[in-house]
Amino acid sequence: MLLTLHKREEALGRGAPVVYLCALALSLCVCALMLALAGKPALGGLAVLFRGAFGQTHALLDALLKAIPIFLCSLGVALSFRMQIWNIGAEGQFALGAVGATWAALTFGGQPAVVLMPLMLLSALILGALWGLIPAWLRLRLGVNEIISSLMLNYVGILVLEYLVFGAWKDPLSFGFPMSPEFPPAAQLSRIWPGVLGKLHWGLLACPLAGVAYSVFLNRTRLGFELAACGEGERVARYARLPYGFLVLLVMGLGGALAGLAGSIETSATLGRLQPTLMVGYGYTAIVVAWLARLKPWPIAFTAFLLAALRVGVEAMQLELQIPAAFGQIMEGAILLCVLAGQFFLTYSVSLKRARPAAPKASPQPEEAQA
């Protein structure tokens, strides 16, 4: 038997979901194996995961809640991935957005919500965008690799947040815990319908707005088309006289602003104060989501919800089986690796062929020789 590869004439269309499902199944097997390795029930653990994630209404609502920041960050990184600019700094931009919102909430605390909320949003957007523009500028001006610089700024951004809550913004009433004072009510996003929709807050509205803006920008504007063309690489873009530098700044700035927006929504709606526990890795999950969804807005929304549900499921596993929270990371990594490998079958077909000598004259057929 011999494996032969053929490049498909066009990428697999209808069969694609099968490929994705197989990749997902494979990654679940890997995760089950890891559970067994840690001495936990493998199948029972996965059952808890799925029941915890999809079993109850409040779990689904919780997933929707967690999907908000993931979706916003993911749109941001997807924008830059489209032009092969590897912005992996969403985590740090998220942190800076939270810092910006907190600054406005603590400085203009006396203002009514109509004034305070826009101020918080604005400062979050600006700080997030600035944090994203640093690696963009370094790359354009000096040729610094944006993967590493944006990642390093994640660590720095989180430490900036910690520096503030351990120092200048520390709540005098917090008994030494690193947290800012609680925001005034005008600075807290309210819940939509507390009795029915649980903790779901008005920040949810930002998602459809950002999603529609994203697809209009990409599909209906000149800049959006130019951005897609830049995906072919810097040399092509420069040859076609596209405004490559401007587009790099634009996508990194917008990506940072989106992550900053997510950060401000999270501080204002879920915690109501600035705290290091805000940073739970949404910025990294967003990268996984963006790639799994192949950078398209609707799939990003769907995938963001799925991975958020996974986080909820892992919380159930933590409670019931004392499984460390890091299990969620293993799942994200395994799914991404499997899907990445699986995408090969979208462009290549593999067929099994019996190994036969090329020229029949040269030697007898193997089966006949055996007979």
Partner 1 sequence: MSPELIIALLAATVQAGTPILYATLGEIISERAGVLNLGVEGIMALSSFAGFMACHLTGSAWLGLAVGGLAGALLAGLHGVVCQVFLGNQVVSGLALTIFGVGLCNFLGTPYIGQSTDGFHQFAVPLLADIPLLGAIFFRQDALVYLSYLAPVAVWFLLWRTSFGLGLRAAGEMPDAASAAGRNPQRLRFSGVLLGGLLCGLGGAYLSLAHTHLWTTGLSGGRGWVAVALVIFAFWRPGRAVAGAYLFGGVMAFQLRLQASGTNVPSSLLLMLPYVLTIVVLVFSAARARSARKNGPTARNSAAPAALGVNIEPVG
**Residues near partner 1 (CB under 8 A):** 4-7, 34, 37-38, 86, 88, 138, 142-145, 147-149, 151-153, 155-156, 159-160, 162-163, 166-167, 284, 287-288, 291, 323-334, 336-337, 340-344, 347-348
How far apart are the C-alpha atoms of 365 and 334, rounded to whole Å?
44
Distance of CA 11 to the CA centre of its chain: 25
CB of 254 to partner 1, least distance (A): 20
User: 204 vs 331, which CB is nearer to partner 1?
Assistant: 331
CB of 255 to partner 1, least distance (A): 16
Q: Which residues contact 246 (CB under 8 A, 6 or more apart)?
A: none
User: 61 vs 330, which CB is nearer to partner 1?
Assistant: 330
CB of 233 to partner 1, least distance (A): 11
User: 130 vs 160, which CB is nearer to partner 1?
Assistant: 160
CB of 318 to partner 1, least distance (A): 11
CB of 212 to partner 1, least distance (A): 27
User: 203 vs 342, which CB is nearer to partner 1?
Assistant: 342
Q: Which residues contact 294 (CB under 8 A, 6 or more apart)?
A: none
User: 211 vs 281, which CB is nearer to partner 1?
Assistant: 281
Copy the structure tokens of residue 141: 């001006």
How far apart are the C-alpha atoms of 50 and 45, rounded to whole Å?
9
Q: Is the dihedral of CA 85, 90, 95, 97 positive or negative?
A: positive
How far apart are the C-alpha atoms of 127 and 260, rounded to whole Å?
7
How far apart are the C-alpha atoms of 331 and 35, rounded to whole Å?
11
User: 95 vs 301, which CB is nearer to partner 1?
Assistant: 95
Helix intervals (H) in the chain:
16-37, 42-54, 57-81, 90-107, 113-142, 146-166, 194-197, 206-220, 222-230, 234-239, 244-265, 282-292, 297-321, 327-342, 344-347, 366-370
CB of 289 to partner 1, least distance (A): 12
